[in-house]
Chains A and B, each alone.
Chain A
Amino acid sequence: GQNIDQPTEMTATEGAIVQINCTYQTSGFNGLFWYQQHAGEAPTFLSYNVLDGLEEKGRFSSFLSRSKGYSYLLLKELQMKDSASYLCAVSDYKLSFGAGTTVTVRA
């Protein structure tokens, strides 16, 4: 089975940086995904890590350490539109999701 933990809520100021941590214990691993979900909308794909290290994609970066069962999503230059839930998901060809981290960006 999969056990995936991430903080429930985070608040940050517009223009700042926020780091969302995700720890996991899994029976199988084929990659770690981050999704963004605005209230009432579908989850949208943000990033994917299968090897250790940092993946950068514009304002968003994601890091993975397989030996530690740890990942983080880094959001830089926060904008109001980044207020959303961020879901960490581990794949063993099926996706298992964490409970999600609600990020609130304040002016």
Chain B
Amino acid sequence: SAVISQKPSRDICQRGTSLTIQCQVDSQVTMMFWYRQQPGQSLTLIATANQGSEATYESGFVIDKFPISRPNLTFSTLTVSNMSPEDSSIYLCSYLSGEAKNIQYFGAGTRLSVL
């Protein structure tokens, strides 16, 4: 599997500000995803990051709040905009392997605290 890295690993932010999280894969991958994991809960898919087109958002998530970029096949960013304490969470990116099993591999996550 390819190596996936995410940064920052953690951050503490003030309400009303924005944070951009970067996700880098060391080889080209077709599909990348962004998830949120709130404290003590499981992973919820935010959106699918599509290369060369707008991201596909899941119900409850909107582009104005979580703009996503996917400029090429190895890189994506997620911005958490106009943050509030409710946005405190772990944000994870993943990519879909090219194998037949369609396994998703995850980055280590970004632990965000909003004060």
Instruction: Check if A31 is an interface residue, CB within 8 A of chain B.
Output: yes
User: Does A91 contact B106, Cβ atoms closer than 8 Å?
Assistant: no
User: Does B104 contact A31, Cβ atoms closer than 8 Å?
Assistant: no
Chain B: number of interface residues, binned into ranges = 10 to 19
A19 CB contacts on chain B under 8 angstroms: none
What is the chain A residue whose CB lies nearest that of B104?
A: A95
User: Does A87 contact B42, Cβ atoms closer than 8 Å?
Assistant: yes
Chain A: number of interface residues, binned into ranges = 20 to 34
User: Does B42 contact A97, Cβ atoms closer than 8 Å?
Assistant: yes
Instruction: Check if B43 is an interface residue, CB within 8 A of chain A.
Output: yes
Using an 8 Å CB-CB cutoff, how does the interface string of B91-107 with A read, 1 for contact, 0 for none?
01000000001111111
| Apart from A31-B102, A98-B42, 7 more pairs, CB < 8 Å | A42-B92, A48-B101, A87-B42, A95-B43, A95-B45, A97-B42, A99-B41
Residues of A within 8 A of B (CB): 30-31, 33, 35, 40-45, 48, 50, 87, 91, 93-100
